[in-house]
Amino acid sequence: MARPRILVVGAGFAGVECVRRLERRLTPGEAEIALVTPFSYQLYLPLLPQVAGGVLPPQAVAVSLRRSSRYRTRIVPGGAIGVDPDAKVCVIRKITGETVYERYDLIVLAPGSITRTFDIPGLVDQAHGMKTLAEAAYLRDHVIAQLDLADASDDPEERASRLRFVVVGGGYAGTETATYLQRLTDAAIRRYPRLDPALIKWHLIDVADRVMPELGESLGESTLRILRRRGIEVSLGVSVAEAGPESLRLTDGRVLPCRTLIWTAGVAPSPLVGTLGAETVKGRLAVAPDMSLPGFDGVFAIGDSAAVPNLVEGDGAVCPTTAQHALRQGKACAANIIRRLRGQPLQPYRHRDLGLVVDLGETDGVSKPVGLELRGLPAQAVARGYHVMAMRTQVSKARVLTNWLLNATAGDDFVRIGFLSGQQATLRDFEYTNAYLTREQIREHSALLAAGVSGGAGAT
């Protein structure tokens, strides 16, 4: 009898944790395990602002899947672009561009999220995101390039637009991104004698009435004071009305000269969710407490693309899209898959949120672990300690610690490596949001597979 095929889509916190638990708890004869991911690493997303700010190199936050697995899982190098739950087929576009098909008996959907955008003129063409390793590396190059170009120009208007940097989104990602990149430009400007440091303007804006609302009012006010002390202008209650190549128009009527718009105003579930035709909650798959998808045999969903009921809070609440929930959902989902394979009842997911930690660079931080409010260096120490413990391998822990020490003792470097030099890389380019199939296209692919038509050299 053939072994059941378990297909895990996505190598984020949820997907990798699920695979690791399946590898540990299942015997080789119980199931085949495959993981669909375009990259051979798990991205430690919370430290991306430090990559953009030059504190950490990209490889420090890219944890090798080959190191962290037990070599039983087959890695499919590509992205899932559609799922046919009736035929139990996942359509995958490999990194070569060819389309292949993976049959499954059980599938775990953990494709994560993409940057949430709105119908704002010019936004998707001008904004830079902070969701991928390539975006962080590109953004660092781009910011340093603006300093170089401003230094080479004698045009006051060009200098003003190149030296104003706007970050939209006052949550975790936007606040850390603004502080780490402001720290980078503050250190770099000393190397540009032709530029007045006062010309550099960092601006954080958010439509909400306070920054870091996840931390509560008191720590939010502390964060606001840190930002303003660091010279970052904060505008609340406003957003972008129109984005152009050299300026921004805000909803309060102001027009800002600006050639760097960083968009971190929330996330949206992966477009893969829409290919199933299942019920959703704010775009996330509406799963049962045991993380199975009602009405879809053999389908589980976890992480940012799943609205997992929060049984601790109750009243219809769903789990927030945080790393700690994704990790624990991955473990719990793997346990339920094993129970299903062994004919045991599934168990609901339940986890109490342990709080949030925020590292703002230098000696600044605000954290709220298990309800305890911390500020300054103690908050930063807790944040960095948590990140090191959460890293997947000893090699990744050593890389992060070593680079923190190197940056603290040797300072910053401002080398622009020329990543995608001369190309205005957009959110679509980095996050592949146009790659997904419609439900009709998925059914066509399933029909081809049923007729015995190959989808490429790696088709199954």
Average pLDDT over residues 190-216: 93
In whole angstroms, what is the distance from residue 267 CA to residue 123 CA? 15
Domain extents for the chain?
5-45+62-115+268-353+431-450, 123-265+355-425
Q: Which two tokens stand for residue 329?
A: 């959902």
pLDDT of residue 70: 60
Least confidently predicted of 115-119, 304-308, 329-333: 115-119
**Residue 432, pLDDT score:** 75
In 3D space, the residue among 177, 35, 17 whose CA is nearest the CA of residue 102 turns out to be 35
Same fold, 5-45+62-115+268-353+431-450 and 123-265+355-425: yes
The three-class DSSP label of residue 172 is helix
pTM of the model: 0.92
120: Cβ contacts below 8 Å, ≥ 6 apart: 239, 240, 241, 242, 243
Tell me how far CA of residue 299 lies from CA of 72, 104, 218, 328, in angstroms.
22, 10, 42, 18
123-265+355-425: what fold? FAD/NAD(P)-binding domain (3.50.50)
Handedness of CA 211, 215, 221, 225 (dihedral sign): negative
Task: Report pLDDT digits (tens) over 363-403.
Answer: 999 999 988 999 999 999 999 999 999 998 899 999 999 99
Burial level of 6, CB count in 10 A (0-12/13-18/19+)? buried
What is the C-alpha separation between 336 and 348, in angstroms, rounded?
A: 9
Question: Residues with Cβ < 8 Å from 439, sequence gap 6 or more?
Answer: 82, 275, 277
> Which fold, 5-45+62-115+268-353+431-450?
FAD/NAD(P)-binding domain (3.50.50)
The CA dihedral of 32, 38, 42, 46, to the nearest 10 degrees, is: -140
